[in-house]
Amino acid sequence: MPKPPRVLILDNAIHRHLYRPAWAWKAHLKGIETKTVNIPSGAPIPPLDGFTHLLVTGSEASILEPRPWFEREAVLLRTAVDRGTPILGSCFGHQMLVHALSGPEYLRPADPPEIGWAEIEMVASDPLFDGLANPWRAFVFHLGQAVDPPPPWRKLGRTRHCDTHVLRYGDRPVWGIQAHPEISSRKAKVFLRISLLLGLKPARHVLRALRDAPPRNDVAETVLQCFLQIPG
């Protein structure tokens, strides 16, 4: 009989009083046992054998500007992949998976940056996303991106400006999503306003995103439901 899901969230937030990505994921995990560890703070990481699934969050840090804690997280992710633990990363977490499993040479600045709401076109079938409309919409905020990661990475979804928006590591239960499906439209607007207060650039993209905000962003439940059904 499969074990009930127990999710470890790798929280990559730097300004934890302003940006709380683990909270956004937990809002979709009601009834599921979770534990959060903030990686940038150097908090101790619990043993992986106590968890069935791993979520890797976004961050205000840029994957293109290495920090000492990057390698600590990369080692943990390589260990989890070797164990067969199902992993789902979003935005920075998506990029960190490529960094950990293939190297930093497959990460570049986004040209142009994607900020706001993007349509993600699925170019290959996958059980995590087959329940969504094609294309599906999600909040995006990224200044860097993965570029042509080598096999076994497979490209599953793309946007107008980024053809690596959804990746899977071969047939292993390891997925990266450049978007933030976990962030609701309401919380996305709060995040955008905070980014303006923090002076994050480019401000014109942020202001345009605030004008174009859709009323809902509700794909996370579908993706997470499929993810948690994968045995860990």
Q: Quickly tell me which residue has 């990686």 as its tokens.
A: 39
Q: How far is residue 173's CA from residue 184's CA, in Å, rounded to a whole number?
A: 25
| 204: in domain | no
Indicate the pTM of the whole model.
0.92
What CATH number is given to the structural domain containing 108? Answer: 3.40.50.880
Structural domain containing residue 142:
6-184+219-228
| Tens-digit pLDDT profile for residues 26-39 | 999 989 999 999 99
| 176: in domain | yes
Task: Tell me which amino acid residue 2 is.
Answer: P
Retrieve residue 185's tokens.
């439209």
Q: CB of 24 within 8 A of CB of 187?
A: yes
Indicate if the pLDDT at residue 99 is higher than 60.
yes
Q: H or E element: which one contains 32? A: none
Between the alpha carbon of residue 192 and those of residues 38, 125, 161, 187, 208, the distances in Å are 22, 32, 20, 9, 10
| 213: in domain | no
Q: How far is residue 37's CA from residue 103's CA, in Å, rounded to a whole number?
A: 24
Q: How far is residue 157's CA from residue 94's CA, in Å, rounded to a whole number?
A: 13
Task: Tell me which amino acid residue 34 is.
Answer: T
| Tens-digit pLDDT profile for residues 41-83 | 999 999 999 999 999 999 989 999 999 999 999 999 999 999 9
Domains contained in the chain, number: 1
